Amino acid sequence: MQFVRPRPASNGMEIRNIAIIAHVDHGKTTLTDALMRQTGMVTDASVSMDSNALEQERGITIYAKNAAIFYPPRLGEAGSPTSETSEGRRKTTKINIVDTPGHADFGSEVERVLRSIDSVVLVVDAQEGPMPQTRFVLKKSLELGLRPIVVLNKIDKPAARPEEVKEMVYELFLDLGASDEQLDFKVVYTIAREGIAKLTLAEEGVNLFPLLDTILAEVPAAKTDTESPLRVQPFNLGYDNFVGRLAVARVYEGKLKVNDAILMRNKEGKNEAGRVVKLFTFRGLERVETNEVEAGDIVMIAGLANVEIGDTICFSSEQELLPAIAIDEPTISLNFVVNDSPFAGREGKYVTNKQLRERLKKELEINVGLRIDFSDDHYKVYGRGELHVAILLENMRREGYEVQVSQPQVIIKEVGGVKSEPFEEVTVECPLEVSGTVIEKMGKRKGIMMEMKEGSGGYTRLIFEVPTRGLLGYRGEFMIDTRGEGTLYTRVLDFRPFVGVIKKRDEGSMVSMATGKALAFSLNNLQARGTLYIGPSTEVYEGMVVGNVTKGTDMAVNPIKGKAMSNMRSSGADEAIKLTPPIEVSIERGLEIMLGDEYLEITPHNVRLRKQFLTETERTRAGRKK
């Protein structure tokens, strides 16, 4: 396909706008970091696009982030627009890169980014092949008419099968209804960790320049129509304590200057005036303040307090609106409640209802996949999945907040007069010998097996379609069933007719009937009745859940009971107490295992499960009212 090269921007530099998309852990961020180093944008090897502490700890991308590189790398004076290449002197091109999350819970980050770029680099693991999120992000890209460049990464893996995976990617393009032009995609083979790219497997890779050359050849230059009236559309939001809300936006037409008076408009009738306080462009990972930006670039705008993703920023109310950016709806909901446990206020700096409300409102400034209902004394939060909510809770606890949340519930709605619930496609890779257990558990959760393939190394790939309701709380159980050797990935499909009651677990809770410090003597007796969540010397209170029991009913226990003193010697007096290590309750595990009548209490240093009604009398009375 031939592209007409637009007129370069006034500074003489062409711009390419791309997003790097992939399934989680296929190497997007590693590839982006290597591109930054090889083009001189970053000199410190420890600097990464995944700059958030949670991203670095978990090894996943959570937030979409912007960077810009200049290729060929500039030589000579700073700001020189030319460099020597094998073809002689070639003008440097600015490549704006958006690194996107790979986890399905953060799909809303990907959707809005794709509307604002001109092509995508689809990264696929050369061993695993296309996975659920690969399908999701590719489908969105193809629907928008983008022509992806396919990067087969990790070709150095012992079990890598690049040619086979290339065919799998081609089949995926066909399944998703790609056009003839889109099917004619370029393939680049990479080892992102080593910073190597090559156009054929036989080549000896040196650097990532073959990938950059492919981007310049295949991605159309951004249109630089500076004569038309201004039209800008934000696709991401940020927040700064000094200048307030920040809009990351694509300039489609015209020019924008600092102190320009603008209008923010959308199809719902919004027509709000504002003034630009500051403008930034990107260079590497840095923001570079500037006085003027032009069509074709991706920029950051400060000073527009009420700007929203998808707004059209322009000068006149007569101008045509840019197409709105639609984001998929949330699938789960849960209540955020002020912490009122007996241990409330011990650790947190922010413990009041007002502080919780303000923090959640601030989250809405940047987290567009979230919806919050503030109409009650507790706040109903709607999210894209358990991980989406868990990341918010983890950030809040690190900031010093104390909060309690209820059990996540799937959003049920009417579709065409039929009660419907969200369904997800689940891809499981597990050892062949445990696949029967996985199939049995999925069947109990109303899952339907769509495909079963024998993989390499004694592994099997299973694909199910399961109600989201059935998946809640299953991940921990899956890890136990597969002895930690299985992987499970999901993607949201759509809303389908409600499938009825799903019985997930037959366990009850072990509930403390006393307040104090747990003793090893008592825990030694309790561990025979189920699984413990606490160890000796842990402080507990009445109504706190200290473990689970194999029977399906709750059991009141006394974890602080000590050994009775006596002057009579018993036969078991000298037996050593051997405690099985307890299961640590993290935020994600807590959201999985909690029951409908429990809260997950989250503080800066502890995560606890507790009953909503702390005393046995209150729980009995509440049970009668039902």
pLDDT digits (tens, 9 = 90+) for 257-307: 999 898 888 877 778 888 999 999 988 888 888 999 988 888 999 888 888
Amino acid 378: pLDDT: 86
Amino acid 316: pLDDT: 87
How many beta carbons lie within 10 A of that of residue 324, not counting itself?
A: 15
pLDDT digits (tens, 9 = 90+) for 113-125: 888 888 989 999 9
Closest to 443 in 3D by CA, of 499, 386, 508: 499
Dihedral of alpha carbons 45, 50, 51, 52, sign = negative
Burial label, 314 (beta-carbon count in 10 A; 0-12, 13-18, 19+): buried
Q: Determine the angle formed by the axes of helices 132-143 and 162-175, rounding to 10 degrees.
A: 50
Please report the DSSP string for 68-112 in residue order.
EEEESPP-SSTT--EEEETTEEEE-EEEEEEE---SGGGHHHHHH
The CATH 3.40.50.300 portion of the chain extends over 15-218
Task: Assess whether pLDDT exceeds 80 at residue 108.
Answer: no
Q: What are phi and psi of 125, to 5 degrees?
A: -65, 125
Whole-number Å distance between alpha carbons of 224 and 254: 8
pLDDT digits (tens, 9 = 90+) for 122-171: 999 998 888 777 877 888 888 888 899 999 999 988 888 999 999 999 99
Any idea which of 72-86, 329-343, 385-399 has the lowest mean pLDDT?
Answer: 72-86
Question: What CATH number should be reported for the domain whose range is 508-562+579-600+607-625?
Answer: 2.40.50.250
- For the domain made up of 15-218, give the CATH fold: Rossmann fold (3.40.50)
pLDDT digits (tens, 9 = 90+) for 74-100: 554 333 344 444 444 568 889 998 877
The CATH 3.30.70.240 portion of the chain extends over 413-497
Any idea which of 319-328, 383-392, 516-525, 583-592 has the lowest mean pLDDT?
Answer: 319-328
- How sure is the predictor about 365, in pLDDT bands with cuts at 50, 70 and 90? confident
The CATH 2.40.50.250 portion of the chain extends over 508-562+579-600+607-625
Q: What is the mean pLDDT of residues 237-261?
A: 85
pLDDT digits (tens, 9 = 90+) for 178-221: 888 989 999 999 998 898 999 998 888 888 999 999 999 999 88
Which residue type occupies 64? Answer: A
Task: Assess whether pLDDT exceeds 90 at residue 22.
Answer: no
Q: What is the mean pLDDT of residues 557-582?
A: 72
Task: Assess whether pLDDT exceeds 50 at residue 1.
Answer: no
The CATH 2.40.30.10 portion of the chain extends over 231-314
Number of H helices, E strands in the chain: 15, 37
Which residue type occupies 172? Answer: L
- Per CATH, the homologous superfamily of domain 231-314 is Translation factors (2.40.30.10)
Cβ partners under 8 Å of residue 95, min gap 6: 15, 16, 17, 18, 68, 69, 70, 71, 212, 215
| CATH 3.30.360.10 describes domain 413-497 | no
> How much of the chain is in helix, strand and coil states, percent to nearest 5?
25, 30, 45
Amino acid 85: pLDDT: 45
